[in-house]
Structure 1
Amino acid sequence: MNPADIIYMDLETTGLNPRQDRISLASVNGMIFGEDEIDDLIRLIQEPDITLVGHNLKFDIGFLYARSGHRLSIANLFDTMIAHQLLTAGLETRSSLDNLTRYYLGINLDKTLQKSDWSGNLSQGQLEYAARDSLVLPSLHNLLSGLLQMHTLEKVAEIEFQAIPAISEMEVNGVGLNFEAARLLFENLMKRKLDLEAELIRLVESYGWKPQEKKKASKKGFNPRSNKDVVSAIQIIYGLNVDSCNHDNLELISREYPDIQFASALLEYRDIEKQRGMLEGWIEQAENGRLYPSYFQLGADTGRFTSSKPNIQQIPRDSRIKGLFHARSGYKLIECDFSGIELRIAATLSGDSGLIRIFREGLDPHKTTASGVFHKPIEGVTPTERQIAKSINFGSIYGGSWRILQKAIPGIEEKEARRYLRDFFRTYPGLAEWQDSCELCEKVEFGLQKYCMPRSLSGRYRFVEPKERNKLLNTPVQATGADLLKASLGALYNALCSPEYNDNRILTCIHDSIIIEVPEDRADEIGDLLRNIMVTTGNEMLFPTPCDAEIKIGNDWSFRETS
C-alpha cells in the first residue's frame, strides 16, 4: 500500500476489553494482518495521507491505542456506524455492520463466527469471515459518503470522526476511584438511610398512619419505598390528595409546608437510596482502582454523549461523591467547562441583538433578564430577582410554558408566570421569532410518518414529530452543544498528539466540560492550553457570540483542594 490509499480496517480480538484482551488479527482491504504485523499497521494508519475507514472505529482504535501505549495521530477517519447514526438521528434503527449491509447493500453477512474463540490458532473459516467484514466497507463508505453530502452532514460528520480517538482514549484511561473512601461513604449512607427510615416511621405513626390493607408479616409497617404507603401518608399528614409522589411533587410539598419534615426527609431518603446504589455499582465495577465507563458517542438523539457502567454523565454534584474521583500521585485533574453555553448558543441561533450584546459586553445574562422582566435598572436587581431570571432564561430557551416556570419558581401564580414569559420575549424579540421559525423548519416523510428536521449550527439534524414543540426548540441548542464539545475534544486530542504531551491523559467529558489528568508541575500550562482550545473552537462556531470557559485544577473532582 502507498500513503494515498484508503484503509478499510476491521479488527478481531480475544475479547471486548482493550486493557485485558488482545488483537488476534486485522482485516485490511480484504487482506489479513496477523498479530505480529499489527505494529506495522499502526505505523501505516498514521501516514498523513491515509484515510482510515471502519465500523465502530472507537473499538478498534481503543485496542490499537492500548497496544501501542501512546496516542495515534490519525489524520483522516470515516466511521460507517457513526455516519448511519447521523443520517437516522431520532429514528429507531440498528447500526451493527450486518444491519447496515442488509439495509444499504442488500447483503446478508453471516456473523456466526463473531463470538467464536479468537485467542488460539484461527481456522480458515475465521480468516474468511474476518476478510469479508473489511470487503463490504468500500461500498458502504461510498454510499454513506454520498448520503452525508446529500443531507449536508459533512461538517458534523467530520466533527464526530475527529473526536473518535479521544473517546477511545477516555475508555482505555478510565477515571481513578478512591476505593476505601467509596466504601466508607457507602457505610455512612447506609447508617443515614436506616436513621431516616426510623424517622419517617416515627413521623407517620405520630399522625396516626396505618397500612391500608393487610401486609405480609415481613413487610409490616410503613415502607418509604412504597408509593401506596407514601400517598396515604401524605393524605393523612398534609391533608393532600395526590396520585403520585414523584420528586417534583415532594419538593413542592416540602416548600409549601416547611414546618412538617416528612416530605424533605423522604426526598433525602430517596437521594441516599440512589447514591447508595451508585456507590455499590462502582465498588463492584472498579478495576485496579479505576472505573472505565463505556461511552456512546451518539447516545442521545441530539448528539450528546451517554455512558454506562458507570453512567458518568449523571454523577451527583455532591462534593463527597465527586471527591472520590482523584488524580494519580504527582498529577492533577483539570476540568474546563464552557460558561453559560446554552444561552450563548441560543444567542447565535436566534440572532437576537440583545442576547448577543450581553456576551459581547461581558454583562450578567441573568441580571439583564431580571432588568427586563422586573422593569428596573441592572444595578437595582436583587439576588432573588436574579435567581428568578435564571429560571426564566433556562426555561424559556427550550420553549418552557408558564407551568414549567411555576414548578421552577416557588410560590408564583399562573398570572405572574405568564407575565414573566411575556416580558422575557419582549426583552429578546429575536429569540421569540427564532422559536416560531423552528416550527416551520425543513419537513420530510419517512415511511408513513412526517417529521420536522431541526438542525444545529454545524448542520446536525434530528427527526422530530411536528407536534413535539419542545424537541423542535431544544434540539438546535443541545445539538450545537454536542458539536462544540466534540469539536473541542478532537482539537484537544490533535494538540496532545505531540510527544511532549505523552504523559497527559484525556479522562472524560461531562455535559459541557472536558476533564484531563496532567503532571502536577505542568497543570497551569496545560490548563491554559485546554481553555484556549475550547474558547477558540467556541468563538469560531458561535460567531458573533463570544465564548468563554472556566478552568478548575485540583487533586480530585470536587476541587476542594485546588492549586
Structure 2
Amino acid sequence: MSEKKPILLLVDGSSYLYRAYHALPDLRGPEGVPTGALHGMVAMMKKLREQVGAAHAVCVFDAKGKTFRDDWYPEYKAQRAPMPDALREQIEPIHEVVRLLGWPILEVPGIEADDAIGTLARVAAQAGHQVVVSTGDKDMAQLVTEDVTLMNTMSNETLDIAGVTAKFGVPPDRIIDYLTLMGDTVDNVPGVEKVGPKTAAKWIAEHGSLDGVIANADKVKGVAGENLRKALDWLPMGRKLVTIRCDCDLAGHIEAWPALDALALKAVDTDGLRDFYARYGFKTWLKELSVKAPEPVNEDMFTDAPVPEAVDVERRYDTILTWEHFDVWLDRLQQSELSALDTETDSLEPMLAQIVGISFSVQAGEAAYIPLRHNGPDAPEQLPIDEVLAKLKPWLEDASKPKLGQNLKYDTHVFANHGIALRGIQHDTMLQSYVLDSSKNHGLGALGERNLGRAGVSYEDLCGKGAHQIPFAQVDVEKASHYSAEDSDMCLQVHQILWPKIEAAPGLLKIYRDVEMPVSDLLARIERNGVLIDGALLQAQSHELAQRLVAIEQEAYAIAGQPFNMGSPKQLGEILFDKLGLPTIKKTATGARSTDEEVLAKLAEDFPLPAKILEHRGLAKLKSTYTDKLPLQVNKATGRVHTNYAQAVAVTGRLSSNDPNLQNIPIRTAEGRRVREAFVAPAGFTLVSADYSQIELRLMAHISEDPGMLKAFGENLDIHRATASEVFNVPLAEVSAEHRRYAKTINFGLIYGMGAFGLASSLGIEQKAAKDYIDRYFTRFAGVRDYMERTKVFARENGYVETLFGRRIWLPEINGGNGPRKAGAERQAINAPMQGTASDLIKLAMIAVQQALDAQGKATRIIMQVHDELVFEVPEAELDWVKAEVPRLMAGVAQLKVPLLAEVGVGANWDEAH
C-alpha cells in the first residue's frame, strides 16, 4: 500500500452557487428573502465535508470586477446575462454560512476562481498533496493529473486522467486544445464554427494537438475545413482565453503564501449556525444541531484512492438477448409492485413511432433492456420483436400491474401502434414534477440532476446532433442498453423522491391523482381520434390568400412609392422612418429601429402603411401555418390530422397543442374563421362545440366574493352591462354599446392585472381617464380590489398562488427581479388562480364527459380541446343526448358561488359549431 498523501479540497464556489440557484425552486426565508441557492450551497458544503477526508480545503469565488482576460479580449463574457437579483441577495449569506461551516474562503481580484484553483492545485501537488477539485465546470478537466482529480457532487461524477479521456475523447493535457476548437458560448469565446465535441476530439486524435490541427488545416476537407481555415488567426487568442493560469500570485490573499496552513478546515461554528439556520428558516438543519454534533474530519476515510466513489445506488443493467433471460425479467415484472418502463423508437412522432427496444426497472439500480430492431454493423442477434411483444402484451395490458414512466402518453401511442393497449399506468414522473413546480424543466435529465445529482447520458451524446445524428437503431447495442436502462432506473428513483412530496400535500395529491394522471390517459385517446379536415377547401383558401397577399404588397408599394422586401426589417425601417418620416417608437437591443408587431400596431393608428404590413403578416402566417401546412399533416393511415397535446408546459396548467397547433387559429378574423370551416364531420356525424361561458369572470366572482359580481351572475345579468352600469353610473337599461365595450375591456383587463397605462392603450383614451375608470370600478367592486391585494401578499409570503383545487403556480420573480419583472409577477399572481382554476375545470370536464360516454357505450368522441372548449364528433343518433348531457356534466364538476354555465353549438364544421 502506497503512502497516503494529505488531501487539499478545492471547491469552485462560483460554479456551484449558480447551479444551486437554477436547480432549486424559489425558496424563501421567514422574512421573504430568497434562500434557494443558499440552501443548495449549504447542502453541498455539508456533504463535501462529510464525504471527503480533507484536513485542508478552501471555497473559491469569483471576485467582483474585470480580469486580465477582459484586457486581452473586451468581448469576453460580454453576452452573459447579469446575475439575477434573487441570487445577488444570497451571495453575502452564502459567504457567511460557508465560513460558519468551517471553510476558508478565497476571492482574488483580477483573476477568475478557475485561475486561483489552478494555482492552488499546482502548488499543493508540488508540495505533496493529493488535490480534489469539486466543480461542475468542464474547463477544469485541463487541471487533472496523477495528483489532481475532479469531483462533481451534483452529478456524482469523479474524473481522473482515464475518466477525462473517456468522457471527452482527449486526455487532460489536450483539453485546452479541445476547448479552443469548440469555443465557449457561455464565456463568448469563439471557436471553429460548427465544430462540436466529436469533431474537436477527432481532429486532435488525427493530428496530435491543436498545433498539429493548425499545421494540417489545408488538408481538412469540406465545410469544416473552410471554417477551420477561417478561424486560424483567432485560435491563438482562443487558446489563451480558455487556458487556466496556474501561476497566479496569491500573496496577500493567503497567509504565508505559498504555504497552505491557512487553508486548514476549522471546526464548525455551532452557535453561529444555529442563529443562521433560524434566521433563514432552515428548520431541519436547526433540529439536527440540537441532536447531533458535527463529526470531526477523518482522513482515514481514504486509503490509496484520492477520491471516494460517488454516493450512488449500485447499478446493474442487463441486456436481454435470450429467452431464458427474458423469462427471468418477465417474472420480475409480474411480481413487481411498481415497474418503470421506457420505449426506444425510430421517430418522435407518436402516431408513427415504431419500437426499437424496451427497458424496464423494478428496483433502484437494476434495469434491463430488450433490443429488438438494432441494425448497426455490430448488432448482435436479437429476439424477434413480434414474439417479444406477444409475450409482453398480457402484462402491458393488465390494469392490475402498476406501471411508471416518464411522459407515458408517448409510450401509450407507441404500444398502440403495435396493437397493444397500455394499461395500469399509475405514475408519471414528468407529471409529478409538473404538479410540484410547473415552472421547472420536467425532462428526465433535468429531473435526474435535480433529484439524484446526475443527468444520465443524453440522446445527443448517444446519437449525435443535426445532420450527423444517427437513428437509434444504429446505436451500438451495449451503449443503447445502458442509455435506456438508465432512463428506466432514473425514472424509478426520481419517483421514489417526488411521490412522497406529493402525498404529503393534499392539494397537490388531488391535482396529480384526480386531474393530471386521468387527463394524460384521455389525451392519448383524443390524439388518436384525430380530426377530419377538408384538404380541398384549404387549398382553395391558400390560393385566395396568395392572391390577397399579392394585392396587399402592391397596395403597400403604392403607399411607399417603391417596391421593397416586406419581410426585411432593415428595408422596412428605411421605408417607414427614413423615406416616410414616421416616428421611432422603440429600438432593438442593437440600437436598430424596431418594426415589431407592437410598434406597427401603434403606428397603424395614424398611418396606412404599417396597417398594410400587419395585415400582410397576419395573412402570410395563416397561409404558411394552416392552409398550406395542414393538408400535409394528414396521417396517411388514418386520413386525419393528429395534434400533440403538451401537458407539462404552461405554468397555469393549461394544455398546449403542437404539430399542428390547433389552439392558435385566429377566431377574431374572417380568414381565421374560414380555416375552422375546413375542420369537418364525417358522413353520418356532426360537430358539437361545448365551452364554459365567461369562466374567468365567474371564477373572479367566486374567489373575490364581491357582492356586485355575485349578484350579476346570480341574476343571470350580462356581466359587462352590469359592470358598465356601475362604473358609468347609468341605469342598466341605458347602458350603450360603447359603455359595454369599455366595461368588457375593464373586466377582462383587470383580472389580468392591467393598470391605467394598459387600459388607456386598449381603449385608445387618455391615461387619466383610464385611471378614473379603474378607481370607479374598484369603488363599486371593492371585493375584487381586496382579492388582488390579498393575493399579492400571499404570493410574496409563499412564492406561489393556488387554484381552487390546490394546484400551485410558482412565481419566481414575485420577490426579486427589477421593477417591471416584479410587477409582471404580481399581475400573474392576480390572474393565475383564475386561469389555473379554469384549466383544472376543463380537465375535470373532459374526464367527467368521457366517463359518461364510456359508461353508456356512446360512439361520440372528443376530438379537440381548445382553451375552455371541447369539440366532439357526434353520430346523428346521439346528438340530442350530447346537447343535453355535456353542458350538465361540465357544469357539475364544481360547485361555485355563482352558476357554472356551459354552452353548446352544433354544425357540419368547427366554425358553424363554435
CA distance in 1, matches of 2:453, 2:584: 58
Percent identity of equivalent pairs: 26
- Secondary structure of 2:566's match? coil
Q: 2:768 aligns with which of 412, 415, 421?
A: 415
User: Conserved in 2, the CA contact under 8 Å of 1:26 and 1:38?
Assistant: no
Aligned residue for 2:529?
173
Secondary structure at 1:462 match in 2? strand
What is aligned with 2:876? Answer: 520
Matching residue's letter, 2:452: L
Aligned counterparts of 1:114 and 1:535: Cα–Cα separation in 2:
50
Query: Which is greater in Rg?
Result: 2
User: C-alpha offsets along residues 307-356 of structure 1, whole Å, 9 cap, x if unaligned?
Assistant: 22222221111221111111222222221111101101111222222212
| Contact 1:8–1:134, Cα closer than 8 Å, also in 2 | yes
Select which of 330, 342, 347 maps to 1:10: 342
Are 1:77 and 1:162, in contact at CA under 8 Å, matched by a contact in 2? no
- Once residues 699 and 416 of structure 2 are traced to their aligned partners in structure 1, the CA distance between those partners, rounded to angstroms, is 34
d(CA) in 2 for partners of 1:77, 1:118: 28
The 1-side partners of 2:719 and 2:581 are apart by 39
Which stretch has the larger CA shift, 107-116 or 278-287? 107-116
Instruction: Give the C-alpha shift of residue 87 in structure 1.
Output: 2.0
C-alpha deviation, 1:231, in angstroms: 4.8
Q: Deviations over 1:512-556 (max 9, x none)?
A: 11112122321231343332221111x33xx22221111112221
Q: 1:22 to 1:333 in 2, by over 3 A?
A: same
**Contact (CA 8 Å) 2:447, 2:455: kept in 1 or not?**
no
Equivalent residue, structure 1, for 2:902: 549
**1:448 maps to what in 2?**
none
Structure 1 residues 222 and 191, CA, compared in 2 at 3 Å: closer, same or farther? same
Counterpart of 1:57, as a letter, is L
Q: Structure 2 stretches of 5 or more lacking a match? A: 1-332, 371-387, 464-469, 587-593, 815-821
Q: How much does 1:83 deviate? A: 0.9
- Give the SS at the match of 2:690: strand
Find the counterpart in structure 1 of residue 300 from structure 2: none
Q: Is the 8 A contact 2:339 2:360 kept in 1?
A: no
Q: Aligned pair count?
A: 526
Q: 1:393 aligns with which of 737, 740, 747?
A: 747
606, 613, 616: which is aligned to 1:269? 616
Q: Distance in 2 between matches of 1:253 and 1:519?
A: 50
Matched, 1:497 2:854: yes
Match of 1:187 among 517, 525, 543: 543
User: For 1:470-518, what per-residue CA distance to the aligned partner results, in whole angstroms no more than 9, with x for missing partners?
Assistant: 12212212211221122222233333334713x3332221111111212
Matched, 1:90 2:447: no
Q: 1:422 to 1:20 in 2, by over 3 A?
A: same
1:231-258 Cα shifts (integer Å, max 9, x gaps)? 5555566864544444455445545x5x
1:282 alignment partner AA? L
Q: Could you tell me which of 551, 558, 562 is aligned with 2:911?
A: 558
Q: How does 1:117-156 map to 2 (within 5 A)?
A: 133-151=487-505, 152-156=507-511
Q: How does 1:360-379 map to 2 (within 5 A)?
A: 360-379=714-733
Question: Is 1:476 the equivalent of 2:827?
Answer: no
Report the counterpart of residue 305 of structure 2 in structure 1. Answer: none
Secondary structure at the counterpart of residue 794 of structure 2: coil
Secondary structure of the 1:439 match is helix
Q: Secondary structure at the match of 1:303?
A: coil
Please say if residues 166 and 506 of structure 1, whose CA atoms lie closer than 8 Å, have aligned partners that are also in contact.
Answer: no
- RMSD, aligned CA: 3.2
Name the SS for the 2:912 alignment partner. coil
Task: Tell me if the contact between 1:338 and 1:549 (Cα under 8 Å) persists in the aligned partners.
Answer: yes
State the Cα distance separating 1:150 from its structure 2 match.
4.1
Q: Which has the higher contact order (CA 8 A, sep 6+)?
A: 1
Distance 1:241 1:516, change over 3 A: same
Could you tell me which of 192, 204, 223 is aligned with 2:565?
223
Q: For 1:40 and 1:118, how far apart are their aligned partners in 2?
A: 27
- The answer to whether the 8 A contact 1:53-1:78 is kept is yes
Of 46, 54, 59 in structure 1, the residue corresponding to residue 405 of structure 2 is: 54
Return the TM-score normalized by structure 1.
0.84
The residue number in structure 1 matching 2:512 is 157
Structure 1 partner of 2:665: 315
The corresponding residue for 1:27 is: 360
CA distance in 1, matches of 2:455, 2:658: 30
Q: 1:389 to 1:120 in 2, by over 3 A?
A: same
In structure 2, the CA distance between the partners of 1:110 and 1:416, relative to structure 1 (3 Å rule), is closer
Deviation of 1:362 (Å)? 0.9
Q: 1:534 to 1:114 in 2, by over 3 A?
A: farther
- Pairing 1:284–2:625 present: no
8 Å Cα contact 1:186-1:276 kept in structure 2: yes
Give the letter aligned to residue 352 of structure 2.
Q
Q: Cα 1:155–1:120, aligned 2, differ >3 Å: closer, same or farther? A: same
Structure 1 Cα separation of the partners of residues 336 and 635 of structure 2: 41
Q: How far apart in 2 are the matches of 1:42 and 1:461?
A: 33
After superposing the two structures, state which structure 1 stretch, 514-523 or 104-113, moved more: 104-113
Shift of 1:179: 1.3
Give me the whole-angstrom Cα distance separating, in 1, the residues matched to 2:766 and 2:486.
65
Aligned to 1:63: 414
Q: With the length of structure 2 as denominator, give the TM-score of the two structures.
A: 0.53
CA contact (8 A) 1:25 1:35 kept: no
Using a 3 Å threshold, how does the CA distance of structure 1 residues 409 and 311 change in structure 2: closer, same or farther? same
- Counterpart of 1:44, as a letter, is D
- How far 1:79 moved relative to its partner? 1.1
CA distance, structure 2, for counterparts of residue 525 and residue 263 of structure 1: 50
Q: Pick from 691, 696, 704 the counterpart of residue 342 of structure 1.
A: 696
> How far apart are the structure 2 equivalents of 1:293 and 1:132?
30
SS of the residue 1:517 aligns to: strand
CA distance 1:173–1:201, change in 2 (3 Å): same
2: distance between equivalents of 1:433 and 1:304? 26
Per mean C-alpha deviation after superposition, the further-off stretch among 30-39 and 155-164 is 30-39
1:178, 1:325 within 8 Å by CA — same for their partners in 2?
yes
Return the alpha-carbon distance in structure 1 between the equivalents of residues 337 and 856 of structure 2. 26
The alpha-carbon distance between structure 1 residues 287 and 408, as it changes in their structure 2 partners (threshold 3 A), is same
In the alignment, structure 1 segments of 5+ residues that lack a partner are 211-220, 445-450
CA contact (8 A) 1:174 1:291 kept: yes
- Alignment correspondent of 2:558: 202
Distance 1:231 1:313 in 2: 32
Amino acid at match of 2:744: K
Local SS of the residue matching 2:903 = strand
Does the CA-based 8 Å contact 1:18-1:172 persist in structure 2? no
Written as runs of structure 1 = structure 2, the 5 A alignment for 1:400-479 is 400-410=754-764, 412-443=765-796, 452-464=799-811, 465-466=813-814, 467=822, 468-479=825-836
Structure 2 residue matching 1:432: 3-state secondary structure: helix
Query: Cα 1:281–1:536, aligned 2, differ >3 Å: closer, same or farther?
Result: same
